[in-house]
Amino acid sequence: MAATIPHPHRVCPDTGFKIDLNAEKLIKWNAVTGVVVFLIGGLFGLGVALTRMPSVHLLDAELFYLALTAHGADVLVIFIIFFEMAILYFASTVLLQCRLPTPWLGWVAYALMVLGAAMANYTVLIGEASVMFTSYVPMKAHPLFYLGLILFAVGALLVCIHFFATLIVAKRERTYQGSIPLVTFGAMVAAIIAVYTIASGAIILVPTLLWSIGYINYIDPLMYKVVWWGLGHSSQQINVAAHISVWYAIAAILFGAKPLSEKVSRTAFLMYILFLQIASAHHLLVEPGISSEFKIWNTSYAMYLAVLGSMIHGLTVPGAIEAAQRKRGFNKGLFEWLRKAPWGNPVFSGMFLSLVGFGFLGGISGVTMGVEQINLIIHNTIYVPGHFHATVALGTTLAFMALSYWLVPTLWQKELFAPGLAKLQPYLFFGGMSGVALFQMGAGTLGVPRRHWDMTFADAAANTGITYKFQASASMLMDLNGLAALIGSIGALIWVLNMVGTLLLSPKKGTRPAPAAAPTGAGTIAQTGSHGTLGDVPGTFVIVMIFFACFALYYYVNWKYLGEIWLLK
Amino acid sequence: MSIFPPEQRIWWKEPVERAEVLWVSIAFIWCLIMFLMMPYWHMTGNQNLANTAFRITPERYAAKAEEMVAKYKVREEGTNAVPVVHPPPGSDVYLIGRLWEWWPILELEKGKEYKLHLSSMDWLHGFSLQPTNINIQVHPGYDMAIRITPTTSGEHAIVCNEFCGIGHHAMLGKIYVK
Amino acid sequence: MATNTGPEGQQEEADVPFMQQLLDNPMVLLLLGVVVPTVSYTIWGIMEVVSIPIAP
């Protein structure tokens, strides 16, 4: 039964897991590349935020649109996907304790991704592709922009194929018993979504590349949008599946937390597999000629079944932590388990803040603005970036940061470079990026446009004599957004500093990492069993009910706002 | 634990925690309510897009716009002498978005319905009517027709909120409502 | 923990409920995850665009 196929590996001194040596190298190279791209993309983002601060207006128009294109491509896609490739290798070879079947494929994929990313970034930096990450036709970028994205996508697809091959090999070689772990299952969901995402990208970007070199002479702009968003939004749904898997992983690593129910969590992930990508339709809600039937079915993730999946994870992830904490003795009242959780450990604080930010700020705003009719008061205002800073920065990025505080020291067997700063970092990043999300959403509600260099329209006044002034509070909100972005950027830089410092400057680990906080003081002896109507996780139940109340309230407030605009039939 | 395979080989049959069942039920009902709100609003609400649209070449659309301007122009405004038109209520009103202006300027009457057409001569633009905050995408090659009734009077601006190049932030139109 | 070799293992494979068999099958899930959005969003969406009439 033991494989005669070589499995060069080492055993992790902290966890006992078998780590395939080839996979380990790929995890490290992909993760580190991700961090480097994050730094570049993040700096561009800071430039953008300081330009949109009316009182600072840092970059000139040309540089602003260039920076915005680079920021979008680099952090929304390139950084995050490099990191996700690392997660795919980890969730397969490490969690299933198996070998990486085809190491050379991993390196070919990595090379393609680096080449593609460099190509796309190069064309943006020389000013030949300031088309925003969406590159809507008939606006045309340098052909190497499209080719760069295509190569990057092909590389990522190869990693996904390799991931599925690894699953098959692990099952055949019986390196684990029964079903794959929940975290691996979640990573698989991310990989499945990635296949659809990349296929959509190929279908639209290959013809667009041919158009950009003059080989095809027309691409219908509406068709482009439909197919492109199959790539565009689905790429963000990869992130959702990935960061939820990271939450489950952190809950297991820090608390020994077990899923409340494998059935419920996996079924929630099944809703993602089937219905998450179709909500790309929420980008088409105010386009000409698309039927309401198409819009309503697709923007709702099929009767909101995929949203149901998210709401389920919103209970099962903290619920698993609560159950584990209560078993250890943190049983007093509704929230002792949470109050006494290791808030000083950035792995925990980052993870939990990510969950709160993604759910309350990202999720609620996302579902609301995806309503067919409510989208009228939201589309292309800066509310949209407000929403996705909550989902991608607070949700995905903060979750990845939290994971890295455990993974990097463990995988490289090094002490964390600046643990004191690390303690603070999730709070800084969360505080800053929450501000960005809230202030942008506020300004967007007042009509401030996204992707726009000057909300005072000074050039319009100069060129045509036509003027418009937003309400004074809109400018104030954009100024506050700039300040929040600054705070978030400091948080981001501290993280990068810790990552780079740990890799390059820290000493090798001597002792085991500190265990999660043990029960203190006089708590009741650990009990499992019912706490009455709310069952084993009453605290989490209260949290989700508060979430539900916020959701329902915010949802209906926006219908009210919609009712106040001009009549439209 | 989530990083290990499930302890039970057959985990599908494990009993589910009461809190989970309750929350899934509540959340599912909420999902259905949200789903049904959209068709409900189509039936009872006053803000819906009819999705009426046609394919049209920029030249043909421009001809329709110029015909309207010739018939209903009342004056000119601004340094570029943009025509201001006062079309009759109920009529087809043609608005052009192009790099980097909205043409013409419209003068509408409060409480009256118009059939507003939107199309672009070149790239994608974003029709963002302020301060009422209505946002619609404008495509070249497509004429999108919406029946619109102004409910607020005064000077309104059309901001472009779809990135369309270096003059994007200078693209500003106007609608007067009397 | 259950093993899946030998006659007991084969018996247990047969006892696995259908839904769990589905969720334990990455290839079927991959197929569903690509086909369902392709039909519901991409193909339906393309059909919507090509059926927009020409202006009279």
CA distance C34 to chain B (A): 24
- Quick one: A236 exposed, middle or buried, by C-beta within 10 A (0-12, 13-18, 19+)? buried
**Residue B128 to residue A459, Cβ atoms within 8 A:** no
**Residue C46 to residue A223, Cβ atoms within 8 A:** yes
Interface probe, candidates B1, B4, B8, B10, chain C, greatest C C-beta count within 10 A: B10
Name the pairing type of β-strands B105-108 and A9-11.
Answer: unpaired
**Interface A-C: count of C-beta contacts within 8 A:** 101
C26 touches chain A (CB under 8 A): yes
Helix, strand, or coil (residue B75)? strand
Residues A497, A501, A506: CA angle, nearest 5 degrees: 150
Q: What percent of chain B has pLDDT over 90?
A: 94
Q: What is the pLDDT of residues C8-34, one digit of tens each?
A: 555 556 689 999 999 999 999 999 999
Q: Does residue A524 register a pLDDT over 50?
A: no
> What token pair was written down for A206?
């290959």
Going by pLDDT thresholds of 50, 70 and 90, the confidence category of residue A523 is very low
Closest CA to A362 of A145, A539, A554: A554
Chain A residue with CA closest to C48: the answer is A290
**What spatial distance separates the first Cα and last Cα of chain C, rounded to whole Å?**
71
Q: What's the mean pLDDT when you consider all of chain A? A: 94
Q: Which residue has the higher pLDDT, A524 or A291?
A: A291
Q: What is the pLDDT of residues A327-340, one digit of tens each?
A: 999 999 999 999 99
Going by pLDDT thresholds of 50, 70 and 90, the confidence category of residue A520 is very low
Q: What percent of chain C has pLDDT over 70?
A: 75
A269 touches chain B (CB under 8 A): no
Q: Does residue A232 register a pLDDT over 50?
A: yes
pTM of the prediction?
0.94
Looking at residue A4, its pLDDT comes to: 67
**Residue B10 to residue C52, Cβ atoms within 8 A:** no
Give the mean model confidence (pLDDT) for residues A68-81. 96
Q: What is the pLDDT of residues B94-142, one digit of tens each?
A: 999 999 999 999 999 999 999 999 999 999 999 999 999 999 999 999 9
Looking at residue C8, its pLDDT comes to: 56
Q: Does residue A527 register a pLDDT over 70?
A: no
Q: What is the pLDDT of residues A432-471, one digit of tens each?
A: 999 999 999 999 999 999 999 999 999 999 888 899 999 9
Question: The complex's ipTM?
Answer: 0.96
Give the mean model confidence (pLDDT) for residues A492-516. 83
A560 secondary structure, DSSP code: H
Portion 195-254 of A in contact with B at CB < 8 A: 220-222, 248-249, 251-253
Q: What one-character-per-residue DSSP string does A311-359 give?
A: HHHHHHHHHHHHHHHHHTT--STTTHHHHTS-TTSHHHHHHHHHHHIII
